[in-house]
Amino acid sequence: MAMPLWNEHDESYKEIHEIIVPHLGHIPIGKGDFHRLPRDVRHFIGHWVDILNPRTIYICDGSDDEAHEIISKLEERGTLHKLRKYENNYICRTDPKDVARVESKTYISTEDQYMSVPHVKEGTKGILGQWESPEVLNKDLEERMPGCMTGRTMYVIPFSMGPVGSPLSKIGIELTDSSYVVLSMRIMTRVTSEIWNVIRDHHEFVKCVHSVGCPRPVKWKVINHWPCNPEKTLIAHLPDKRMVISYGSGYGGNSLLGKKCFALRIAGRIAYDEGWMAEHMLIMSVTNPQGVEKFIAAAFPSACGKTNMAMLEPSLPGWKVQVVGDDIAWMRFDKNGVLRGINPERGFFGVAPGTNYKTNPNAMKTLLRNSIMTNIAEGDDGSFFWEGMEKEVDPDLMLTSWLGERFTVKEKGDRKAAHPNSRFCCPAEQCPIIHPKWEDPEGVPISALIFGGRRPEGIPVVMESFDWKHGVMLGASLKSEATAAAEFKGKVIMHDPMAMRPFMGYNFGKYLQHWLDFEDKPDLKLPKIFHVKWFRLDEQGKFVWPGFGENIRAIDWMLRRCDGEDIAEPSPIGLLPKKGSLNLDGINTDWNKMFNLPKDYLLGDIEETRKFLQEQTGTDLPKEILNQLSKQEERIKTMSTK
Ligand code: O2Y
Ligand code: MN
């Protein structure tokens, strides 16, 4: 392979570097002092300026003045539009071809294929990450990157995932030609010039390069002032190099590279190398009426209500929930063996439809100011609107849908006012129930890990794993009905092991072994692992569990288990609540429907899960997972048929 595009560490480059610096003199520095940046950063920028050929360079400092300047520019251009009913809230509509993460164009590239993906069974298409060889990736990038920022400003965004300077945090720099990305990264991460000092002290940073793929003059019609290049979209991860290169999409997870690309895929690999965990999990604290607080981390597949659970309003009196994070948890065992977690993000990038004052009043209150809403509808009174808000607004409110159609709320019918994957992006600190320790550099102590999914049949509302290994197997067996990616539209049940299927940055077999290995470290205080399913249906298709704020009842049970209360009994698939041990006062539920174990379903399910894991992970599947599956199957076989 010729020198790969991303490789800036050769001797000749060092010489060129000295030429590039003066050469930057010809490229106006729109803002910031390039020459005062740390040397490695100058190298990184200089290298990419040479390839991308931007018109000017803008070094971000994260200040409010900077945001105002960029917002004014985007308003002038028509990309952003103020929602006048609120303070500093903006709406943005994308090209309708650029509305979600694109899993099929997302790749992991390492010299060794099996560092990125498992040995899938021959003839099977792997769904736990896509590998591309460095040679092919380099070719793909050579076709896309050179000159792709011609005529555009290249923003340099220094950001920290996690509180700046925390031992649990990591630094990144994103080069992007999208000012929408700059504004969103300001909300979702900590963007500040302090980062340069952290890099001077520690040197390490994750390199993120993003372009919408529309050099000027653009050869096609730009829709909604949203430049993008969907036919050529490519989101590439180079975990060995701690690098992400994204091209063609300006949307969400494809372009806000601190989020899924860095905080899950690259950080996942860093965590593997360094002995910690980067997970698709919310972190919340729960305080019982006696004033005892515990923190839990919970993994749910995309679009399964993680944000709602993280901000739950407990239905039981005297309980309090506070949120630390709604999507990603970085967790590490401290010197006392306690698992401590941080939310590496600084904002919420939540799915708008379905969010309302009933399902998530705290999210609704969080997004009343300083937020950016993408692909939602706008009311003529300058308000935001999306599906799920119908009962909370005037039915005569005239809307402009995300596609520009005009209708009132009551005329809407089946038409979509907002895109199903439309998003709000708002600062976490504005959440009325943000935990006072949400930015604690030490992280918060995690007492319980929860896995859950949205699937109609079979699995009980709540159960506890027999032990750590069994819990890892339960996580690996996770399935769900929903996803936020562009490719999946129907309500098919998909495997989403550990809720990480779209976010794996390295071989899933090694990932499972990494989890299992924690059990062998005697000094660690391993949290209990639970499985929940809020969405169980009965034979009539009715939910057997009320969900939302009532989920506190299952959480109460789990936390009492963490305190060692004798309220669980073994079943073939895990420890279930002893009858009567779940607080069901005041709600109408049928214990049997919540906890019955349909033998045939469970046997079929375990067989199918084993097949899936064997096909997808092949020889990389840890023996212990197979062992756990076999033991579970044997236990189920001994059940009497119901
Ligand atoms: O569609 C996107 O680009 C965003 S996906 C997303 C955003 C916030 C939190 N989680 C997700 C996800 O897909 O899990
Ligand atoms: Mn997510």
Reply yes or no on whether the pLDDT at 17 is more than 60. no
Q: Please state the atom number of ligand 1 nearest to the C-alpha of residue 483.
A: 13
Whether residue 217 has a cis bond before it, omega within 30° of 0 = yes
Using a 6 Å cutoff on CB, does residue 615 contact ligand 1?
no
Average pLDDT value for residue range 67-92: 97
- pLDDT level of residue 459 (50, 70, 90 thresholds): confident
- Does residue 326 have its Cβ closer than 6 Å to ligand 1? no
Q: What is the pLDDT of residue 535?
A: 79
Ligand nearest to the CA of 235: 1
What is the pLDDT, as a whole number, of residue 202? 84
Q: What is the rounded CA–CA span in Å between residue 529 and residue 278? A: 16
Going by pLDDT thresholds of 50, 70 and 90, the confidence category of residue 600 is very high
CA angle in degrees (0–180, nearest 5) for 484-297-421: 15
Q: Ligand 1 centre and the CA of 252: distance in Å?
A: 7
Percentage of the chain lying above the pLDDT 70 cut:
96
In the predicted model, is pLDDT for residue 339 greater than 60?
yes
Single out the catalytic residue among 148, 208, 228, 304: 304
Q: What is the pLDDT of residue 25?
A: 62
Closest ligand 1 atom to Cα of 484: 13
Q: Which two tokens stand for residue 506?
A: 């390295």
Among 151, 128, 131, which residue's Cα sits nearest to residue 55?
Answer: 151
Identify the CA nearest to 99 among candidates 461, 353, 448, 459: 353
What are the strands, taking DSSP E only, across 288-416?
Answer: 293-299, 320-325, 329-333, 339-342, 347-351, 372-374, 377-379, 384-385, 398-400, 406-408
Establish whether residue 184 lines the binding site of ligand 1, counting it when its CB lies within 6 angstroms of any ligand atom: no
Atom number of ligand 1 nearest to Cα 99: 1
Distance 350 CA to ligand 2 centre (A): 9
Does any ligand 1 atom lie closer than 6 A to the CB of residue 424?
Answer: no
Answer whether 255 contacts ligand 1 (Cβ < 6 A). no
Distances (CA, A) of 439 to 342, 381, 397, 426, 457: 8, 36, 40, 16, 39
| Across 576-592, average pLDDT | 94
300 lines ligand 1 (CB under 6 A): no
**Ligand 1 pocket: which of 233, 235, 323, 423 to mutate (most atoms <8 Å of CB)?**
423
DSSP string, 172-237: EEEEES-HHHHHHHHHHSEE-THHHHHHHHH---EEEEEE-S-PSSPSSPPGGG----GGG-EEEE
For strands 372-374 and 90-92, give the pairing.
parallel
Ligand 2 centroid, distance to 454 Cα (angstroms): 14
The stretch 267-286 carries a mean pLDDT of 98
For residue 101, which ligand has an atom nearest its CA?
A: 1
pLDDT at 484: 64
Confidence of residue 537 (pLDDT cuts 50, 70, 90): confident
Which residue(s) pair with 299 in the sheet?
281, 451
pLDDT more than 90, % of the chain: 86
Q: Which value, in Å, is the radius of gyration of the alpha carbons in the chain? A: 25
Q: What is the pLDDT of residues 168-198, one digit of tens each?
A: 999 999 999 999 999 999 999 999 999 999 9
Specify the pTM: 0.96
d(CA 362, CA 242): 35
Give 95-115 pLDDT, tens digit per residue.
999 999 999 999 999 999 999
pLDDT the model gives residue 209: 98
Which amino acid is located at 319 in the chain? Answer: W
**pLDDT for residue 206 is more than 80:** yes
Q: What is the pLDDT of residue 546?
A: 87
- For ligand 1, whether the C-beta of 252 sits within 6 Å is yes
Cα of first residue to Cα of last residue in the chain, in angstroms, is 62
What is the rounded average pLDDT of the residues 590-601?
92
Helix (H, G, I), strand (E, B) or coil at 498: helix
Q: How far apart are CA 340 and CA 406, in angstroms?
A: 49
Q: Which residues crowd ion ligand 2, with CB under 5 Å?
A: 302, 327
Per the annotation, the verdict on 431 as an active-site residue is no
Confidence of residue 14 (pLDDT cuts 50, 70, 90): very low
Say if ligand 1 is within 6 A of residue 373 CB.
no
The pLDDT of 197-225, averaged and rounded, is 96
488 Cα–ligand 1 center, Å: 13
pLDDT tens-digit readout, 552-569 = 999 999 999 999 999 999
Q: Could you tell me which of 231, 230, 246, 45 has the C-alpha nearest to residue 137?
A: 246
3-state secondary structure of 278: strand
Ligand 1 pocket, mutate which of 98, 233, 260, 454 (most atoms under 8 A from CB):
260
| Separation of CA 36 and ligand 1 centre (Å) | 36
Q: Is the CB of 302 under 6 A from ligand 1?
A: yes
Amino acid (1-letter code) at residue 538: D
pLDDT of residue 599: 95
Q: Indicate whether residue 100 lines ligand 1 (CB < 6 A).
A: yes
Nearest CA to ligand 1 atom 12: 302
Atom of ligand 1 nearest to the CA of 101: 3
Q: Is 160 helix (H, G, I), strand (E, B) or coil?
A: strand
Q: CA distances (Å), 539 to each of 377, 456, 601, in order?
A: 37, 10, 14
Per-residue pLDDT for 492 more than 90? no
Residue-level pLDDT at 23: 55
Does 24 score more than 90 pLDDT?
A: no
Across 394-408, average pLDDT: 98
Where does the pLDDT of residue 11 fall: very low under 50, low under 70, confident under 90, or very high at 90 and above? very low
Average pLDDT of 523-542?
89
Question: What is the Cα–Cα distance from 220 to 342, expressed in whole angstroms?
Answer: 43
- Residue 21 is predicted with a pLDDT of 52
Local confidence band at 9 (pLDDT 50, 70, 90 cut-offs): low
Structure tokens at 320: 């309090």
Q: Which of 283, 327, 348, 501 to mutate to test the pocket of ligand 1 (most atoms within 8 A of CB)?
A: 327
